[in-house]
Chain A
Amino acid sequence: MTAFYRAVVAEWTKLRTVRSTGLALLAMIGLTMLLSLLAATLSTSTANDARLSVDQFHFVHRPVTGDATVTARVSQSDTGEWAKAGLMVKEGTASGSSYAAIMLTPGHGVRLQADARTEVSRPSAAGPRWLRLRWTGQSVTGYESPDGVTWNTVGTVAVAGRLSEAGLFVASPPRLHLLGEIPRYEAVPGSATFQDVAPDGPGWRDTPVVEPPSGAAVGEGVPSAPPLAGGSRWSGTAMVTVTGSGDIGGAGMGGINLTDLDRVRAGLSGVQFGLIGAIALGALAVTAEFRTGTIRTTFAARPGRGTVLAAKSLVVAVVVFVSGLALAVAAFLITRPLQHANGYHAPIYPSPALTSPPVLRAVAGAALFLSLIAVFSLAVGTIVRRTAGAVVILLTGLVIVPVVAAGTSGSAAEVVGRFTPLAGLSILQTVELTPLSNAVVTGVWAGFAVLCGYTAAALGAAFWILNRRDA
């Protein structure tokens, strides 16, 4: 134990007395802060001022007067867990007008919505269901049934507008599409068959309800895409197949999430740039010894090569973790007021305290991420032994490939986000990701485990090679 302790002290002395250590740490802090501050000052949000809702779908409807009921047996094709098909009563057919709707979703049961503000849900088995909507004045009640005989009440909601059109609707939310230089949302066609539609008979009309283009870029506000042409095909007077795309609901309901909700992660995003400093520190800690030949003195003083590698790794890990922790806390505290001033504030964007568990995990995680990247770089440096070679390999794998992938292709970015050491960035998440809002979905610990795996494997290989080779 004392041997290891002495080795650690020796490595710490070496690390703190070379100039490159300070420069690498400075680069890590400077580059992280640069990117985080740019992100905090350049991105703005008007989400708190704008009404955050989507109202875009295909509507098969007929005029109604007074209190009435609509019923149908709905079987929906599964085009995504949040695809929506059901019955609606609406104030006209313009996008954004008042509505109440009961709908089936393939992944989230039966849901009753009103005016993109209220939502009631009831879990249900997958497959066709009977739905019914009954309204009295501006109070609307939704029912669902497995067989059309026994009916369960889903809930009662109030709408603001005067209800004048009732009927069937189909919506299917867009998918984020990253192929090509500019990310965009791509419409997904949904479809559903309605049987035993009541009231039946002639008088049904088709209207594609389309949102006016918002002009907002991807990443701002609620996801939406230009709709596909929907339609309806009747078989007899009471059965119709409806196709349509789009989504209905407001932010936080019906599976609609803001794309830029995780402000803690955005504030810490600079570590993806700052890791260049961690790479330099880790690689140089060992390659500099090989270059100058100091490694022979080191091994003469301490022939246990595993001990030397462990001591070096520990010292590098602790140094990067401690400075990374200070850096992450500072980045969080500095970017938060900037984000707040740019429109990222409650109620849409909650700003959790530094001491809340997800934030603590993200802040400590940013330091751990940098620390593991530095140890990984140290291991690669031990294997390669040449500074230039190690730096080329590490920068290619950890900087160039990820950034080129993120800038060109969504599928490549997904592979990088899941299977390379950069998967460890998942530990910065404080908001659960949804497939709709983010291309890369990795569990917080799953992604971090990938980075730990790479580091352990690289250290193992470094230990094996260090023992076999002549110094």
Chain B
Amino acid sequence: MTLARAVLAEWTKMRTLPSNVAAMAALTVLMTATAAVVTAVTDSPSRDITVLLRTGVHATQIAAVALAAAMLGAEFHPRLIRVTLAMQPRRRVVLAAKTLVLSATVLVTTLAGTVVTVLVAPALLGAETLGDPAVVETALYLALVALLTAGVTAAVRHAGTAIGLAVTALYGPYMIIVLVPMSPSLSDHIQDTAPMTAGLSALGTAPGGWSGLAVLAAYAVAALIAGAAVFKARDA
């Protein structure tokens, strides 16, 4: 019962902050908007819908990172966290409620956005649309990215720093793969173990995609454990 109340409290905090509502709207709209823009500006767009979704994911995950960082970071900046903890002194319950609300919000909004993108894709790409869109995997991927950022934010307690760290963790290994000439085996190894590239592999049509999501989930869990440890140990 305590958890249910904590969840309700977190949901109220989340939906009443204008910047969070904006981020939630972005989570729904960005996927479709990016797909439309990409097909409009590319001269020879790929007919593959999985490629289209993947481009949309890059845009959408920034909104997921921003929402997660804002949701947890907002507690620490005006020291709202003191009120929160006065009401619910069990810190693990607070963090659990926050992560539940966050992951549910991201799952629902991005699922809606992805379904809309898949529905309008034939209109964008033309009749012979290829590929089998990984709708559920896309939403799960974005929820895991949000949880990873939530863990980082709980650990560093500052939204801007957390966004910087999360983006570096997601795109740093990818940047190294793209910019550094290296052997294909090493590049594959980095792709399979880095959080973003491993998670994105679940969005393609290649078999074994779920193991990629498991890698990302492991990073998210590690970040949440670190965040929970800091949250429990430090003075608010």
The listed residue (A217, A406, A411) touching B181 by CB distance below 8 A is A217
B194 within 8 A of A: no
The listed residue (B43, B58, B70, B158) touching A411 by CB distance below 8 A is B43
A408 within 8 A of B: yes
B192-219 vs A: 1/0 string, CB under 8 Å?
A: 0000000000000000000000000000
CB of A273 within 8 A of CB of B172, answer yes
A147-181 vs B: 1/0 string, CB under 8 Å?
A: 00000000000000000000000000000000100
The listed residue (A39, A219, A276, A388) touching B160 by CB distance below 8 A is A388
B127 within 8 A of A: no
CB of A388 within 8 A of CB of B171, answer no
**Chain B positions within 8 Å of A411 at CB level:** 42-43
B93 within 8 A of A: no
Distance (whole angstroms) from the CB of A406 to the closest CB of chain B: 5
The residues in B between 101 and 160 inclusive whose CB is less than 8 angstroms from any CB of A are: 158-160
Q: How would you classify the secondary structure of chain A's contact residues: helix, strand, loop or mixed?
A: helix
A391-411 vs B: 1/0 string, CB under 8 Å?
A: 110011001100110111101
The residues in B between 39 and 74 inclusive whose CB is less than 8 angstroms from any CB of A are: 42-44, 55, 58, 62, 65-66, 69-70, 73
A442 within 8 A of B: no
A387 within 8 A of B: yes
**Chain A positions within 8 Å of B171 at CB level:** 399-400, 403
CB of A400 within 8 A of CB of B58, answer yes
B4 within 8 A of A: no
| Complex Cα spacing A408 to B52, Å | 11
A369-403 vs B: 1/0 string, CB under 8 Å?
A: 00000000000000000011011100110011001
From A65-73, A283-291, A443-451, A461-469, give the one contacting chain B: A283-291
Given known contacts A388-B73, A409-B42, A404 and B180 CB-to-CB distance under 8 angstroms: no
| Complex Cα spacing A404 to B66, Å | 19
| Complex Cα spacing A179 to B186, Å | 22
A437 within 8 A of B: no
Instruction: Write the chain B residue with the least CB distance to A276.
Output: B168
**Chain A positions within 8 Å of B160 at CB level:** 280, 283-284, 287, 387-388, 390-391
CB of B62 within 8 A of CB of A396, answer yes
CB of B174 within 8 A of CB of A407, answer yes
Instruction: Write the chain B residue with the least CB distance to A404.
Output: B58
**Chain A positions within 8 Å of B174 at CB level:** 403, 407
Besides A273-B172, A388-B159, A407-B178, 9 new A-B residue pairs in contact (Cβ under 8 A), listed by A number:
A38-B180, A38-B182, A39-B181, A43-B181, A220-B181, A272-B179, A388-B66, A391-B164, A399-B167
Q: List 9 A-B contacts (CB under 8 A).
A: A39-B181, A217-B184, A260-B181, A273-B179, A276-B167, A395-B164, A403-B174, A406-B178, A411-B43
What 4 A-B pairs come out closest when comparing CB atoms?
A387-B160, A388-B159, A43-B181, A42-B182
Chain B residues in the interface with A (C-beta under 8 A) = 42-44, 55, 58, 62, 65-66, 69-70, 73, 77, 158-161, 163-164, 167-168, 171-172, 174-184, 186
